[in-house]
Amino acid sequence: MSAYNIVSIAGSDPSGGAGIQADLKAFSAHGTFGMTVVTALTAQSTRGVTGVHTIPAEFVTHQMDTLFTDATVHAVKIGMLGTPEVTAAVTEAIDHHRLPNVVVDPVMVAKSGDRLLASSAVEALRGKLLPRADLVTPNLPEAADLLEEPEATSLEEMRAQAVRLLELGPRHVLLKGGHLDGEESVDVLVSRNADPVEFGAPRVHTLNTHGTGCTLSSAIAALLPQRPDMATAVADAKEYLTKAIRRAGDIDAGSGQGPVHHFHAWW
């Protein structure tokens, strides 16, 4: 068959390290054909976000209907949505077009600390989108925001929060532990019909981590049609991201938090 078609529904990052630009690179790195639905335009660099322009929900729907009535879609990565209206529009499209392998990266705050999801949109994300997700991939601050409770400070608290996130409706939750201390970074995968799995990796000491969440969720989306189960897709995506972080110093894209090296296996 031809390459799998993977769609990113997310915001644009002109610096190329996050958002739809990072998603397309991760899709390509895994041998799939990337497509996009743009939900927001940002003015940002490796040093931070200086402006956000959200796309009207009606035009986001127009993009999705035009694309999904033509192309066969094998997986969808959902990133920055920005507003409750856009979140609702994407939710309706998932139902209407019966989109498979939906991976939700709940983009709320950029690495620089800039908020990318309006507080009013969190409830729409929690109540409408998560129950339709095959996988949700929050970091610890995002998990705390979704659960309306303090951020986890230990692996034990992480495990408990991952289970509570699963109760919000997604089929799988990958709670990322990069914000914890320690020489090893541990992510926790919990599922409705499988035992929990924990993925540990040596912590890479680098400032170049711009777009790591986007890249991981996109790699998982690209791998889901190609792997036998969620745990295998996550494991392979994490191995890819770890190598991309280790090689991040090969890219000089600015003076702040640089991007990971999406094409480390080829360049």
> Which residues are marked as active site?
176, 209, 211-214
* Segment (H or E) for 215: helix 212-223
* Partners of 181 in beta bridges: none
Burial letters for 8-17: b for 16+ Cβ neighbours within 10 Å, e otherwise? bbbbbbebbb
Question: How far apart, in whole angstroms, are the C-alpha atoms of residue 197 and residue 172?
Answer: 11
Question: Tokens 């690495």 identify what position?
Answer: 111
Residue 192 and residue 241 in contact, taking contact as beta carbons nearer than 8 Å: no
Question: How far apart, in whole angstroms, are the C-alpha atoms of residue 253 and residue 46?
Answer: 7
Question: How far apart, in whole angstroms, are the C-alpha atoms of residue 132 and residue 223?
Answer: 19
Report residue 102 as tokens. Answer: 């939906």
Give the amino acid at 134: D
Residue 173 and residue 190 in contact, taking contact as beta carbons nearer than 8 Å: yes
Angle separating helix axes 57-68 and 84-97, nearest 10 degrees:
20
* Partners of 52 in beta bridges: 42
Question: How far apart, in whole angstroms, are the C-alpha atoms of residue 185 and residue 78?
Answer: 24
